Structure 1
């Protein structure tokens, strides 16, 4: 009986998180906790027992996205072939963002300066900068690449969320392949224009549209 109760509790938690991700993606964080409970098929008491406030729920749902992103970067950095690892990160994050960008936008719009997100991004960008240096040393990654260029790709990839859901992953993989070719060092590579310097924006702000000051 205790095992059955634990299983039911975990199932309820998973359903709540899935419902929250879907609703946040579609309508932003303005949805109510009761709407999440109704969409998940659980009672309000069950929802509040697991997630006493909406912010706790939002944080829990976004934590899954951060773990997925961290796993992609960890696997890429662990690849003994740094260029192959770099390419896998570009493709993996592009696909991840195409599936979840609506939720990420909703979360970041409501919490543009949240510390945990800034720390997460700063850590990943440091790891990717080291991976890029290793890939440059092999002669595969263009010598004038800077980590800002990866931020540009992530910003551009936001547009994939507007494609039909059935085509989104295929579009993300093709987009990643085009970006990877642009990053590859070859005899025809032209020198890039000056970088706009997006690292501080990526870490302190968000990859969503900036809101005007009021």
Structure 2
């Protein structure tokens, strides 16, 4: 008889799980979240049956692979919302989000994609996007954020940020920080700023077709 209690994974099973998660992040970074599970299994060096035993659906794998990053994302948004100066809070979110995404391009692929079947992941993603939208509304009301800003602009920045290539992870982070500073300058309200061209709707349910945050 079994005692009915959960048991820790054996060392070989734990190793398989970690390899699968690392492989998933790498494949999602290169191919997007629509990459086939068999490709992830090949990269992890495990049989497809082993992958499906650990993660029966891709939604479970996406959620598990990026849980830590989503928690970090929440903390960044909460920190920005807590700043009494909404513009400084908005800048903090852009800076730290870019750095977070520069560290893991697979997370960017998952974050900017609509992946509604991954319910837990989508709930966490929508929490972050809703928080950013609220922070943008406050910064716009204070006259610091340009009035034609839309939430999809943040996704556009993250997508562009994910394209940074550098000679080392440290160099990629440094480049990401510079890119974030340039993006913030573009977001700043300015009386002589030219109107932005229209943005095609990105795959962001929370942005509701690129509606303004005001």
Does the alignment reach a TM-score above 0.5? yes
Q: TM-score range by the shorter chain?
A: 0.5 to 0.7
Question: What is the TM-score normalised by the length of structure 2?
Answer: 0.67
**Counterparts in 2 of 1:1-214, with a 5 A limit?**
5=8, 8=11, 13-26=17-30, 29-30=35-36, 32=38, 34-38=41-45, 47-102=51-106, 104-105=108-109, 107=110, 112=114, 114-115=116-117, 116=119, 120-139=124-143, 141-148=144-151, 149-160=153-164, 162-166=165-169, 167-185=171-189, 189-194=191-196, 196-197=198-199, 200-204=201-205
Query: What secondary structure sits across from 2:84 in the alignment?
Result: coil
Question: What is the TM-score normalised by the length of structure 1?
Answer: 0.67
- Taking the aligned partners of 1:197 and 1:53, their CA distance within structure 2 comes to 33
Cα distance, 1:52 vs. partner? Answer: 3.1
- Taking the aligned partners of 2:19 and 2:150, their CA distance within structure 1 comes to 37
Structure 1 unaligned spans of 5+? 206-214
- Taking the aligned partners of 2:24 and 2:159, their CA distance within structure 1 comes to 24
Cα distance, 1:91 vs. partner? Answer: 0.8
Q: Cα distance 1:153–1:46, how it changes in 2: closer, same or farther (>3 A)?
A: closer
Q: Superposition RMSD on alpha carbons, in Å?
A: 3.9
Structure 2 unaligned spans of 5+? 207-214
Cα distance, 1:56 vs. partner? Answer: 3.0
Query: What secondary structure sits across from 1:128 in the alignment?
Result: helix
Segment of structure 1 superposing worse, 67-76 or 141-150: 141-150
The C-alpha deviation readout for 1:99-156, integer Å capped at 9, x for no partner, is 2224543x589x75535466555443332222123224444x2342523443442343
Kindly indicate which of the two structures has a greater share of residues assigned to helix: 1
